Amino acid sequence: MNTLRDLNCSQSSRIHNSCWGFQGCHVEFKTELESNYLNVLNSDLRPSPIANTTVYDVSRPCPAEWEGAFDFVINVSTIEEIPHPHIQVFENLLKMAKIGGYLVVTFDFPGIQLDMFETLFGRKIEWTPNPVTGSSSPIREDHWSNLKVGYFVIQRL
């Protein structure tokens, strides 16, 4: 939520919470996101009985009406789980952001195809001396303490 706030996300911003998940911290995040913002779309690969969700496979191009439609596109800690080239998933997600909008992606390492992103960005990804892990996350989950969490914030120009 802090990243959205820092990027001047307003209550009326259109947000796509992609791969929102069905359990644990993902449900907590969805609930908090919807309590702070009015225009949130939550999608995942599988249908859900939970309100305000839709089906979308991020390994495929988005529906035409979603192209350039969102101020913020979010993918929280799932891109590394997708058995598809992560760069293509990244491109599909970025295409949904408006010009001037943002794509915010968090990911677990190991897991993400990091070398592909380093090639795309033309730089080595640097690690902070105090990485976020499952044990140090605001929504603590000690069983993920072996993973480090990284994130990208990309503005579509």
> Average pLDDT, stretch 22-26?
77
Contact at 8 Å (CB) between 137 and 149? yes
Question: Tell me, what's the pLDDT at 12?
Answer: 92
pLDDT of 124 > 80? The answer is: yes
Question: Tell me, what's the pLDDT at 64?
Answer: 97
pLDDT of 27 > 90? The answer is: no
Question: Tell me, what's the pLDDT at 102?
Answer: 98
How sure is the predictor about 140, in pLDDT bands with cuts at 50, 70 and 90? confident
> Average pLDDT, stretch 10-27?
88
Whichever domain contains 110, its CATH number is 3.40.50.150
Q: Which domain holds residue 66?
A: 2-155
> Average pLDDT, stretch 51-65?
95
pLDDT of 107 > 90? The answer is: no
Rg (CA), the chain: 15
Question: Tell me, what's the pLDDT at 29?
Answer: 87
How many domains does one find in the chain? 1
Contact at 8 Å (CB) between 58 and 88? no
pLDDT of 13 > 80? The answer is: yes
- List b or e across 18-40, with b for residues whose CB sees 16 or more CB atoms inside 10 angstroms: bbbbeeebbeebbeebbeebeeb
pTM summary value: 0.89
For residue 128, report the phi and psi dihedrals to the nearest 5 degrees.
-75, 150
How sure is the predictor about 137, in pLDDT bands with cuts at 50, 70 and 90? confident
